[in-house]
Amino acid sequence: MNRYETVFIMTPVLSEEQAAETVDKFKKFLKGKGAKIKHEENWGLRKLAYPIQKKTTGFYQLLEFEAPGESIGPFETEFRRDERILRFLTTAMDKYHVQYAESRRNKAKDKKEKSSEAKAEA
């Protein structure tokens, strides 16, 4: 099993529920192919660097998972078939990429804990 990271952008005309439904669809697809979801992040509605299909914003989502290599082709085909997806990128993670992703998550977690402690003291 290899480790992969996929970032995809969904069209901004979706409601929050529809965006969550779309993410669940892809997570179920991965699990059906024998993958294990290791981490996911919802980055929310963000401005695009350039317009895609005349849209300037999109819902960003990150999925980090372990899956057999042969499941990536059908997974990307599902992205191409879904009209709610504007763009996607899947990358294989080497050991350095995995370490970096974990350290980035830990820094973000520590930052959140410190800010919540500061709010509790105030």
According to CATH, what is the number of the domain 2-93? 3.30.70.60
* pLDDT tens per residue, range 26-39: 999 999 999 999 99
* pLDDT tens per residue, range 106-122: 888 887 777 777 777 76
Domain-wise residue ranges, the chain: 2-93
What pTM did the predictor assign? 0.85
Closest C-alpha among 52, 49, 40 to residue 12 = 52
Closest C-alpha among 50, 45, 49, 28 to residue 37 = 28
Can you list the alpha helix ranges (DSSP code H) found in the chain? Answer: 16-32, 72-81, 95-121
* pLDDT tens per residue, range 37-68: 999 999 999 999 999 999 999 999 999 999 99
